[in-house]
Structure 1
Amino acid sequence: MIRRRVLARQLKLLREQSGLTLEQAAPKLDFSVSKLSRIENAQVVIDVHWVKSMLDVYDAGGARWNELLDLAREAQQPGWWRAYGLGNNSYIAFETEASRVQVFTLGYVPGLLQTAGYARALMRAVPVRRTDEQLDNEVAARMYRQQRLSSAENPLELVAVVDEPVLHRPVGGPDGLREQLDHLAMLAELDSVTLHVLPAAVGAHAALASGFSILSFGELEEPDMAYIEHTVGALMLDKAEEVVRAKLAFEHVLSDSLDPAESLALIRRSAGG
């Protein structure tokens, strides 16, 4: 999904550099104006043959030609998550392309830091119909996502803030919680993970209404996005002003949190209790 957005942005830039408006370019491509607009807004899967036509009309050649055709082919490839029955518009499709994730959670451990048992207990608690196979697939996909935290080839940087009551909520029972806290302590020592705990004593804070994530895409040069998951669904936010508000809220929560060493000590004490 992100690579489709990158491709769409590059195609729009090429059209503008060629001096053509949407209304001028569309008939040259045998497209309607609305179709070309949907392509440039990444609202449709972009066919490689369309890209070739656009590169011809926009007089783009050389390395640019091969670069954009390769990107078009990559954008058409099914994501790894499809093997687990998950759609292309899921959060995972965006996270897979991200280089950095900042996340704050109120009621549970972030998905990238969960054990399989903890994840399964959370999913079972949500009133969504799943077959046993679907549940197994969703848990397996969540575990697969975590591999990037220790990957040398495709690393993911994670900055996570966890609300302190999460350390005491027995998701999966007392043994499940203890296993989860031990797992948190282990992952907190990875170079890719920065883990903070927001003390309950802080009281009111900037993100009391909900948890959220901020995704950054590094070399892809795609604008940052924010993601909010709630009881009846989820929102992916990409408007600049919304992302700025999310970043500001995260900065405030981070400033109220314990530092990583203090957070790790608290997690270990909670696991021992």
Structure 2
Amino acid sequence: MVKRSRPTFRQRQLGRELRRLREQAGLSQEKAATLLRYTDSTISRIENGQLPPYHGLRAMLDLYGVTVDQWDWYLDLYDRAREKGWWHAYGLLDAGYVGMEDEACRVREFQLGLVPGLLQTDDYIRAVFAVSPTQWSTDAVEVGVAIRRKRQERLTADPPLEFHAILDETVLHRRLPDVEATRAQLRHIARAAGLPNVTVQVLPSDVGLHYGLVSSFTIVSFPDRQDRDVVYLEHVAGALHVEKESEVAKCRLDFDRLAALALSPEESVALIERVADQR
């Protein structure tokens, strides 16, 4: 049985909202727990993403001064936090990146070493699995391919996901074992860049050293203004979700700076096509 390592994005979002409402009402966790007949630790767990019982949620909204005519948004968020996403069928955890991306309306990604998953061809996906230190079975690899294909449907869905990718030029020069597969991957990126909701920029090698060399990162934005941006970082030991607004704001600024250093979208596609022709 798959166990969740941490609450899902929607569960954590509901917890943050309940914490905000409690603080807005001028109640400490201890006071709220006493009035709700909860323990202090229960309130803490709920505010960190553990779902309360449905009637417990209604009691919290009432205690925190939310009028009944304002309940719908919170109850809808509660229902969404309880839903199982399509990724469950593939054995993925709720708390990972895929569920968060599925909720997004906009994704901005800076990549130092790999083609972003939303732009990968099947051959590229298989090649990435092949160089992983983990020994993946053939079936597991094909599941990985299917997951990325499913994610990529967002680029042509209605409404489509807005995607802005900045690629370090070295990404274009990393060869797959098969030359034709390498060309196909590059041309796939160029075609995707033709979608009205997709922007691809290349950061050329001749810009020299730049602050983007520290790390790849992804900024995820959501359609509801009450949902704050989240930064997703992958590292050798796992992954990290950054939600502190000051840190997220810095990442947004860094992304804008990298976009200003990069080639224009038109120049970037022309470069990608030239590299593909040279293979």
Give the TM-score taking structure 1 as reference length: 0.92
The residue that corresponds to 1:12 in the other structure is 19
Distance change >3 Å, CA 41–CA 267, structure 1 → 2:
same
Unaligned runs of 5+ in 1: none
Equivalent residue for 2:113, pick from 104, 107, 112: 107
The Cα offsets for residues 89-124 of structure 1, whole Å up to 9 and x where unpaired, read as 111121111211111111111111111111111122
The residue that corresponds to 2:9 in the other structure is 2
The residue that corresponds to 1:125 in the other structure is 131
Mapped partners of 1:71, 1:60: distance in 2: 15
- Contact 1:163–1:197 (8 Å) recurs in 2: yes
Displacement of 1:178 after TM fit?
A: 0.8
Mapped partners of 1:221, 1:76: distance in 2: 19
The residue that corresponds to 2:3 in the other structure is none
The Cα offsets for residues 190-248 of structure 1, whole Å up to 9 and x where unpaired, read as 01101001111111011112211111123152222212212332222122232233223
Displacement of 1:59 after TM fit?
A: 5.0
Q: Which moved more, 1:82-91 or 1:8-17?
A: 8-17
Equivalent residue for 1:156, pick from 154, 161, 171: 161
The residue that corresponds to 1:50 in the other structure is 56
Mapped partners of 1:92, 1:72: distance in 2: 19
Q: Which amino acid aligns with 2:14?
A: L
- Which secondary structure does the structure 2 equivalent of 1:221 belong to? coil
The residue that corresponds to 2:96 in the other structure is 90
Q: How does 1:177-216 map to 2 (within 5 A)?
A: 177-216=182-221
Mapped partners of 1:77, 1:194: distance in 2: 31
Q: Which amino acid aligns with 2:192?
A: L
Give the TM-score taking structure 2 as reference length: 0.90
Displacement of 1:17 after TM fit?
A: 4.2
Mapped partners of 1:212, 1:33: distance in 2: 36
Q: Which amino acid aligns with 2:263?
A: L
Q: How does 1:230-245 map to 2 (within 5 A)?
A: 230-245=235-250
What is the aligned-residue identity percentage? Answer: 43
- Which secondary structure does the structure 2 equivalent of 1:208 belong to? helix
- Contact 1:47–1:72 (8 Å) recurs in 2: no
Mapped partners of 2:253, 2:137: distance in 1: 40
The Cα offsets for residues 141-174 of structure 1, whole Å up to 9 and x where unpaired, read as 1111111111113x21111011112112112421
- Which secondary structure does the structure 1 equivalent of 2:103 belong to? coil
- Contact 1:196–1:258 (8 Å) recurs in 2: yes
Displacement of 1:185 after TM fit?
A: 0.9
The residue that corresponds to 2:29 in the other structure is 22
Distance change >3 Å, CA 269–CA 239, structure 1 → 2:
same
Equivalent residue for 2:44, pick from 21, 24, 37: 37
Mapped partners of 2:125, 2:217: distance in 1: 18
- Contact 1:100–1:216 (8 Å) recurs in 2: yes
Distance change >3 Å, CA 115–CA 172, structure 1 → 2:
farther
Unaligned runs of 5+ in 2: 1-7
**How many residue pairs were aligned?**
271
Root-mean-square deviation (CA, aligned residues, Å) is 1.9
- Contact 1:118–1:172 (8 Å) recurs in 2: no
- Contact 1:105–1:161 (8 Å) recurs in 2: yes
Mapped partners of 2:243, 2:92: distance in 1: 22
- Which secondary structure does the structure 2 equivalent of 1:94 belong to? helix
Q: Which moved more, 1:178-187 or 1:237-246?
A: 237-246
The residue that corresponds to 2:148 in the other structure is 142
- Contact 1:104–1:161 (8 Å) recurs in 2: yes
Displacement of 1:36 after TM fit?
A: 0.5
Q: Which amino acid aligns with 1:211?
A: S
Mapped partners of 1:221, 1:48: distance in 2: 21
Distance change >3 Å, CA 59–CA 248, structure 1 → 2:
closer
